[in-house]
Amino acid sequence: MAINVNTVYTTVLAVLNKEQRGYLTPYEFNSLAVQVQLEIFEKYFEDLNVMLRNPSNNTEYADRVKTLEEKINTFETSAAVTVTLSGEFGQYNFSAQSPAVHRFGMLEYTNGSLLPVEVEKVPKHEFLLTRRSQLTAPTQDYPICYIEGTTINILPGIASVASVNGSPAQVYNLEYVKKPADPSWAFTVGTVGQYLYDSGNSVNFEISDLDQSELILKILAYAGVVVRDPEVTQAAAGAAAQIEQSQIS
Amino acid sequence: MSKTVATIPIKENDSQYYAGQYGPLQNTSGVNQTVFSFPDLNTTLISNYDDLGTSTQVRSTGNFTAHLLATATTLPSTSNQIPVGNIIVTNTTNNTIQLKNIQGSAIPNNQFIFLQLTDVAIGENYGSYSVLSLNDIINNFIVAYTGQDKILTRIKRADVLFHARRAIQEFSYDTIPSTKSMETTVPNTLNVPLPKDYVNYIRLSWADVDGVLRTIYPLSGLSGNPTEIPVVDANGVPTQDAFGSNLESSGSIIEQRWDTANQNTLSGNYDPYNNNGVYDHVWWKQAYGQRYGLEPELAQSNGYFSVNERLGTFSFSGNVANKIIMISYISDGLSYDLDSIVPKMLEEAMYSKIMSNIITPRNDVDGNTKAFYKRDAYVKTRNAKIRLSNLKLGEIVQIFRGQAKWIKR
């Protein structure tokens, strides 16, 4: 579930304004919000890597792997893509994919009414090696691909085709992780020049609300730098570190 | 021959399985219908034509006929059969066919289409539940044996494909019973080409007038088929042509002599006109029927064969000429399709074999684990061999009844 951007901004302001320490403008807040959301988002993948190596449990709410996977699932998306033939390869360029591809997940290929099969992504070197063996050479049942820049090269080269008169449709589906949308605290200017929250034009944080405390503390740590108050930075960074520690220990 | 694989659970109904019939399916679209699917069949439909426009036949192995029925109770017959040139298969994944949009082929509204498989296709589908496809084995293995929290956490699919296909090759050689055999006639040249997917032979035999198979024995060094027969000069040095290559003789003298050899001189068979060392009663009454120097191994009259590497053929001895022979042989299971069939009796052994072969070269698996899986694969392969040997108690009991027969000495 998303985190309301106004809740975060008002909380940050409440902490900063205590004892008249300083003020964080919406422009400054929005820049810090983008930065911190990305930091927390990227940490999901690193944390998952660590958690997968630890003994797991089977509880409903305390399984860290499950929790992290749920956090990441929010950003998993898929889209039907059109593969075209280029020489012997099927090719798809995902540079214009919307929402943009942040982490490539999997390319699925479906031949007519058969069950979809994964187009296994391998490094280019392995791609070449795999082709050399007659026993492992890519087939329609077991296609492979490698990525060069933003282009996926697929073998065997089969282009996307719609079904005509019952002929098998050739369909590709790209599964990937998108980047969270940039949060934004939008405002209008009030009668006395004050900033008024504009919920209609604001963008909430997309990361899990389980990370709300960490999000606020990290923004506060950066805010301390902005308002030149090391005490705030120190206290917020300490608290954020404590949360992180408890999450991975 | 291309055996089919049944689904789990079985999708085909009784008439689809036993009679190879599908339908009648009614056209309720309101207009002429030209596209129909028959997804429940195990058999992949094959049409003799690939293009309705060109009317050029591309194969003769079509495996079905389609009929246009006016009512659901109309019997399919040649009179209502849709011409094979007016049907193409457009989708082999769910057996979709397309009919030519002309009268007598396209199905009018409220009328019916009925599909009948050929006898060969029906036969290939019988027993389809006893096997599964190699792709099923590979997919099952990936699902059940690889991934997070499994011993094979991270594995390339190419590794699984390689070892699965190698496993089916190995099992084809000594565990899966040979199902490949070919009936043919030995020509006067005494050479029969090796089958297209030949890997090794099981048995070659000729059929007598009662259809009883008589084993033809391998040559075992008695004669031979040279792989090279250079033309030599008076000093025994091979001669060359204008391009510097050795001149090769058109035929082997050894083979010519063997082809015309008198088999009785080897087998010791009595011939009143050529006694070949057998003492007959005319001259040696005291030693009638005896033959000194007889090799029991050679005392047979069924003939000999050898694998002639030079010609790529089975070469036979002269006494097998013009006989009907059966060649039983093994292939490696991958000759026509990488997605070959695997007996269900072998399924568990396949998983263990793939597992063992995959972890053996890995450096992240300890030696004890490797040894465990190697043993596991060995045990399961042995079990599979016993299962596939098809030893049935009742049959063994019948064979044991032979113990009551007195052997005359």
pLDDT tens column, B152-183:
888 899 999 999 999 988 998 888 876 789 99
Mean predicted confidence (pLDDT) in A153-166: 90
For residue A114, the chain B residues in CB contact (below 8 A) are 93
Q: What is the pLDDT of residues B54-104, one digit of tens each?
A: 778 888 889 999 999 999 999 999 999 999 999 999 988 889 999 998 888
**Which tokens sit at A176?**
């990937």
pLDDT at residue number B35: 92
DSSP secondary structure letters along B279-300: --TTT-GGGTT-BTT--GGG--
ipTM of the complex: 0.79
Residue A99: asked if its preceding bond is cis (omega within 30°), the reply is yes
pLDDT at residue number A239: 72
> Dihedral sign, CA of B50, B56, B59, B65?
positive
Residues whose CB is less than 8 angstroms from the CB of residue B160 and which lie 6 or more positions away in sequence, other chains included = B138, B141, B142, B146, B354, B358
Interfacial A residues in 166-185 facing B (CB < 8 Å): 166-168
pLDDT at residue number B334: 79
Mean predicted confidence (pLDDT) in B254-272: 80
For residue A59, name the pLDDT band (cuts at 50, 70, 90).
confident
* B334 phi/psi in degrees, rounded to 5: -120, 10
* B122 phi/psi in degrees, rounded to 5: -65, -45
Buried b (16+ CB within 10 A) or exposed e, A184-213: bbbbeeeeeeeeebeeeebbbbbbbeebbe
**Minimal CA separation from B206 to chain A, in Å:** 36
B164 to chain A: closest CA residue = A135
pLDDT at residue number B308: 94
pLDDT at residue number A150: 92
> Dihedral sign, CA of A229, A233, A239, A243?
positive
Q: Which residue has the higher pLDDT, B239 or B301?
A: B239
Give the number of other CB atoms < 10 A from CB of residue A235.
Answer: 16
Are the CB atoms for B328 and B178 separated by under 8 Å?
yes
**Minimal CA separation from A229 to chain B, in Å:** 46
**Minimal CA separation from B166 to chain A, in Å:** 8
Domain positions in chain B are 14-125, 132-177+333-393, 180-263+301-330
Q: Distances in Å between the alpha carbon of B87 and those of A165, A169, A233, B41?
A: 12, 20, 77, 18
For residue A19, name the pLDDT band (cuts at 50, 70, 90).
low
For residue A243, name the pLDDT band (cuts at 50, 70, 90).
confident
pLDDT at residue number A50: 87
Angle at B18 between CA B16 and CA B22, to 5 degrees: 20
A113, B162: Cβ pair inside 8 Å? no
Alpha-carbon span A107 to A121, nearest angstrom:
8
- What is the pTM (predicted TM-score) of this model? 0.82
Q: What is the pLDDT of residues B358-385, one digit of tens each?
A: 999 998 889 999 999 999 999 999 999 9
A142 and chain B in contact, CB less than 8 A: yes
DSSP helix/strand/coil, B192: strand
**Which tokens sit at B182?**
């070919």
Are the CB atoms for B133 and B88 separated by under 8 Å?
no
Alpha-carbon span B141 to B159, nearest angstrom:
12
B338 to chain A: closest CA residue = A135
Pairing relationship of beta strands B304-308 and B213-218 according to DSSP bridges: parallel
Mean predicted confidence (pLDDT) in B205-215: 95
Task: Tell me the one-letter amino acid at A230.
Answer: P
What average pLDDT is seen over chain A? Answer: 87
For residue B90, the chain A residues in CB contact (below 8 A) are 164-168
Give the up-direction half-sphere exposure of residue B59: CA atoms within 13 A in the CB hemisphere.
13
**Which tokens sit at B327?**
């060649």
Are the CB atoms for B5 and B341 separated by under 8 Å?
yes
Are the CB atoms for B133 and B341 separated by under 8 Å?
yes
A141, B90: Cβ pair inside 8 Å? no
